[in-house]
Chain A
Amino acid sequence: MTTPPEASGSVQTPEQQQCAALRHEIRRLRTRSHQGLWAIAAFAAVSVPALLSGQLFPPLTPEVKKMLGTPPSGNMISALLVVYAFSAILLVLGRITNGSPKMVSFSHIGYLICFYAFYYFSGVLPENFWAVLATGMTILSLESYHIWTYCTAKIREEEETLAILERRMGVKQER
């Protein structure tokens, strides 16, 4: 845990140092609690070009199609998407149960982009766009909710500790 240097530069008592560390930790937790929303926003931003893929990207030329080889069937990708959604939701629920402090994994956005890409190359992205979007929103919302509740609980703990410390420091000063 790093302690930010005080602006005054004067020598601090151990209690003051502890208070400063706690305040720093509370700020860090507050920033961290919004991380899930950033992940959702990033995924939404990535989904816009996928939604407009028909207008934004030119159709694949036969040479490119030949180079990429036979694409997997839409049904196969959909089956994989359902398995992925199921496993990811189970993992997040497990993390919620254990109270794991793990951050929101941005790797999910990468996996979901791969699903968009596979559907696009198979030529069935417009039909399956909403399924990928629902998967992403579910996983990221769950992760976001978990990290938000975890951080809120931690912030409350730190604030209580800070209040006790400040009370103790106030008593000492009165004496």
Chain B
Amino acid sequence: MFQSIATRSIVPVGLAVTGFVAVCCLSLYAIMKQDMIDDAARQGRNIANTVVLSTRYAMLHNDRQHLGNIIVNIGQHQGVEHLRVFNHDGVITFSRNQSEIGHQVNKKVEGCSGCHSGSKPVEQLAAEKQIRRFKNERGVEVLAMSQPIYNEPSCTTSCHYHPPGHKVLGMLDIGLDQGPLQNSLALMRYRMIVFTLMTLVLTVGGVAALLNRSFFIPLKKLVAVTGSDESSETEKQLASGYGELSLLARNYHSLVVRLNDTREALARCRSCNKEKDGQDQQQ
């Protein structure tokens, strides 16, 4: 089976097309997934910035009740898994989840280690390093980002005093549910698989159909013609319309005709010789 022309023509084409389309789809999927995650992170940073700006006035006036209400209200927004503010020492001061308030944040976890890995904490962190992805205790995939709350001149001069030496006053930590993003990715994955399969069926099927129509069918006829001794209807069908194969059939036909003529001439010659020999013997 593997030695037939059909297999030898279709297997390399099928393998090459299947492989290349698969590589392109997988790479494209990885790129699109990264782009979608980056978009979600950008959206998350915008929400974090909005929260920081919304709470700025309350922070300057040390209005803790107002600040707490803003955090709780925004935290109840659909898709927000957690929203909390922790101070310079890592103690959670405001959170959507009231039971977290007063707890110390572990500085060794992924979100904190970006700044706290060295002996001295880093004050400015690249945007992509502020992002982390994990599964929370409820098994929800979360995309979280931390937004530093920097000390400003107005903070050092307001009623509740922050020394100018404190560059970072605290952190706003927001976690977004990745469920909708994962659903979009799954849908995209499914569509890409369908698209890939359709491309493969069309390419391999198209090549196979064309090869069958223009090569394998006439080849079978040619094999049938050359395999039998008598000229048949198939030979007439192959006489034209199949390009090189028709030419080959014609050449074969003329070869057979010439061979038959030669055989007949040889037979005539032999019978002539026999007649001649008979006449000679009679004489």
Contact = CB atoms under 8 A, between A and B. Distances in A.
Pick the 3 closest A-B CB pairs, nearest first: A138-B19, A131-B26, A78-B27
Interface string B17-35: 0111011101100110110
B15 interface: yes
Contact of A128 (B8, B12, B27, B117): B27
Interface of A: 62, 74-75, 78, 81-82, 85-86, 89, 92-93, 96, 124, 127-128, 130-131, 134-135, 137-139, 141-142, 145-146, 149, 152
B19 A85 contact: yes
Given A74-B34, A75-B31, A78-B30, A149 B8 contact: yes
A147 B2 CA distance: 13
B16 A93 contact: yes
A139 B117 CA distance: 43
A78 B27 CA distance: 6
A152 B23 contact: no
Contacts, number: 67
B11 interface: yes
B3 interface: yes
Contacts of A146: 12
Interface of B: 2-3, 8, 11-12, 15-16, 18-20, 22-24, 26-27, 30-31, 33-34, 117
A89 B8 contact: no
B12 A93 contact: yes
Given A124-B30, A131-B26, A135-B23, 19 more contacts: A74-B30, A74-B31, A74-B34, A75-B31, A78-B27, A81-B23, A82-B23, A82-B24, A82-B27, A85-B20, A92-B16, A124-B34, A131-B30, A134-B23, A138-B16, A138-B23, A141-B15, A142-B19, A145-B11
Contacts of A124: 30, 34
9 contacts: A78-B30, A82-B23, A85-B20, A89-B16, A127-B30, A128-B27, A131-B23, A131-B30, A135-B23
A78 B31 contact: yes
Contacts of A145: 11-12, 15
A134 B26 contact: yes
A139 B16 CA distance: 8
Contacts of B2: 149, 152
Given A74-B34, A75-B31, A128-B27, A139 B12 contact: no
B19 A62 contact: no
Contacts of A131: 23, 26-27, 30
